[in-house]
């Protein structure tokens, strides 16, 4: 299958790493991204050792590390502000840190630039309006009125995937967990040199992103799944931070720009049935979206893209590659979704409280295994 012509639907994290991995395998790759501005919100993301290994496999690790802030442990604090644990995380790529905090826009730039220089094409403001699979290829119609024929279509179009409706029309809708997360960027104080996680009914984390920048996340119970208007968002976030320890409280006054607050209700989905139909396959959040409690959602999407490209190279036909891809990925992705959900439910009283240090240790161990 050396000459496959592949359409990737979605130019987010998983779509871009797919494009890079597929180009490295020698396939022809076109991406369509429905957002005409290809915009990404301005806070950050935590990535762990398995993701740094994946970036090394993709050949982008130096640009990627340069764009973020590396660190080798996670600091755990209790709500009083006392530090109770430092969890060392294993380095999987010699000479590179175990974890990286990176701005989402910085990550997007690294991956977008590499996908394009590797020879993928991208059309912005375009989506798929029709898919006809005749068994030997796919005729695809696009929202800009054009049509084209492909050997394979990859749905990397996120939590509310349109391509999932083609692959698994009976899939359950994404489910809300009763929690939301608030994020905000700050200048990085010199003592924030690792992920600092404050466990409690309101979870707070400080994540270094560069020499000068960090972001704060705050997870809050949101049983009614309230929609917060943009106007007043900063005051609403400040209100969620009452009673926090001095290090967090000292930052609260800086939260004053409604447009810089990123609030999201937390949702998950896990497709237990097939991840493909005919020549169309799903990856990333389209097939297994997790709450962020283990900081591994994007990591799973990135690993997916490497495994999928590998199986397309190794197998004799797309459907065998898709079946092998799912078999290699489903247990690890399900683990991340289920354990993240368990932490969330423990925090909101919907399930037993989870020892987050122990769970983080276990997750490091599991994700260190080869993909
Ligand atoms: C609050 C929060 C915090 C998180 N923090 C972390 C973290 O610290 N670490 C981590 O690893 N993960 C984290 N994640 C998870 C991570 O953001 C996702 O797992 C990751 O973005 C999934 O990548 P994806 O490419 O599958 O989907 P996305 O990143 O959502 O990309 C999908 C892309 O497809 C495009 N698209 C959608 N529909 C169409 C269509 N019909 N046609 C064309 N294009 C389309 C979208 O515009 C988008 O560009 C977090 C998630 C949340 C909600």
> Over the stretch 102-122, which tens digit does the pLDDT of each residue have?
999 999 999 999 999 999 999
Q: Determine whether the shortest distance from the Cβ of 99 to ligand 1 is under 6 A.
A: no
Of 145, 131, 114, 133, nearest to 302 (Cα)?
Answer: 114
Question: Which tens digit of pLDDT belongs to each residue from 348-371?
Answer: 999 999 987 789 889 999 999 999
Cα–Cα dist 268/263, whole Å: 16
Q: Which of 157, 204, 267, 303 to mutate to test the pocket of ligand 1 (most atoms within 8 A of CB)?
A: 157
Distance 159 CA to ligand 1 centre (A): 7
Domain boundaries in the chain? 5-173+267-368
Q: pLDDT at residue 2 above 80?
A: no
Domain spanning 5-173+267-368: CATH 3.50.50.60:
yes
Q: Determine whether the shortest distance from the Cβ of 14 to ligand 1 is under 6 A.
A: yes
What percent of the chain has pLDDT above 90? 92
Contact predicate 285/264, CB 8 Å: no
Pick 47 or 90 by higher pLDDT. Answer: 47
Question: Which tens digit of pLDDT belongs to each residue from 276-312?
Answer: 999 999 999 999 999 999 999 999 999 999 999 999 9
Mean predicted confidence (pLDDT) in 221-247: 95
Q: Determine whether the shortest distance from the Cβ of 44 to ligand 1 is under 6 A.
A: no
DSSP reduced 3-state for 352: coil
The string of DSSP codes covering 183-202 is: EEEEEPPTT--SEEEE-SSS
Cα–Cα dist 169/166, whole Å: 6
SS3 percent helix, strand, coil of the chain, rounded to 5, is: 35, 30, 35
Can you give the pLDDT at residue 155?
98
Q: Determine whether the shortest distance from the Cβ of 342 to ligand 1 is under 6 A.
A: no
Ligand 1 atom 20 nearest Cα? 298
Mean predicted confidence (pLDDT) in 57-62: 98
Can you give the pLDDT at residue 358?
87
Question: Which tens digit of pLDDT belongs to each residue from 120-136?
Answer: 999 999 999 999 999 99
Cα–Cα dist 114/62, whole Å: 12
Where residue 1 falls among pLDDT bands split at 50, 70, 90? low
Pick 2 or 266 by higher pLDDT. Answer: 266
Q: Determine whether the shortest distance from the Cβ of 297 to ligand 1 is under 6 A.
A: yes
Where residue 331 falls among pLDDT bands split at 50, 70, 90? very high
Can you give the pLDDT at residue 287?
98
Can you give the pLDDT at residue 38?
96
Can you give the pLDDT at residue 361?
87
């Amino acid at each position: 299958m050396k000459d496959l012509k592949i359409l990737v639907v979605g130019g987010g994290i998983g779509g871009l790493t797919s494009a890079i991995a597929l180009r490295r395998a020698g396939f022809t790759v076109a991406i369509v991204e429905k957002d005409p501005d290809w915009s990404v919100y301005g806070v950050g993301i935590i990535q762990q050792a398995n993701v740094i290994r994946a970036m090394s496999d993709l050949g982008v690790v130096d640009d990627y590390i340069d764009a973020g802030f590396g660190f080798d442990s996670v600091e755990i604090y209790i709500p009083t502000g006392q530090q109770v644990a430092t969890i060392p995380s294993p380095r999987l790529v010699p000479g590179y840190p175990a974890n990286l905090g990176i701005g989402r826009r910085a990550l997007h730039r690294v991956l977008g630039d590499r996908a394009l220089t590797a020879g993928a094409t991208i059309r912005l403001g375009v989506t798929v309006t029709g898919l006809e699979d005749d068994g030997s290829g796919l005729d695809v119609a696009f929202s800009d009125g054009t049509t084209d024929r492909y050997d394979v279509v990859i749905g990397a179009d996120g939590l509310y995937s349109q391509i999932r409706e083609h692959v698994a029309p009976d899939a359950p809708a994404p489910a809300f967990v009763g929690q939301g997360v608030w994020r905000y960027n700050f200048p990085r104080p010199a003592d924030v040199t690792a992920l600092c996680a404050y466990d409690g009914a309101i979870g707070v984390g400080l994540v270094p992103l560069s020499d000068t920048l960090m972001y704060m996340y705050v997870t809050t119970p949101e049983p009614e799944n309230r929609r917060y208007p943009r106007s007043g968002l900063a005051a609403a976030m400040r209100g969620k931070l009452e009673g926090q320890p001095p290090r967090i409280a000292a930052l609260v006054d800086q939260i004053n720009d409604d447009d810089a607050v990123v609030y999201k209700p937390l949702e998950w989905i896990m497709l237990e049935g097939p991840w493909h139909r005919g020549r169309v396959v799903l990856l990333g959040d389209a097939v297994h979206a997790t709450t962020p409690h283990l900081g591994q959602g994007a990591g799973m999407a990135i690993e997916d893209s490497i495994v999928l490209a590998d199986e397309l190279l190794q197998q004799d036909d797309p459907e065998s590659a898709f079946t092998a891809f799912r078999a290699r990925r489903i247990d690890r992705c399900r683990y991340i979704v289920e354990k993240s959900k368990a932490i969330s439910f423990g925090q909101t009283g919907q399930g037993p409280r989870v020892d987050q240090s122990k769970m983080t240790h276990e997750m490091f161990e599991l994700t260190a295994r080869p993909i």
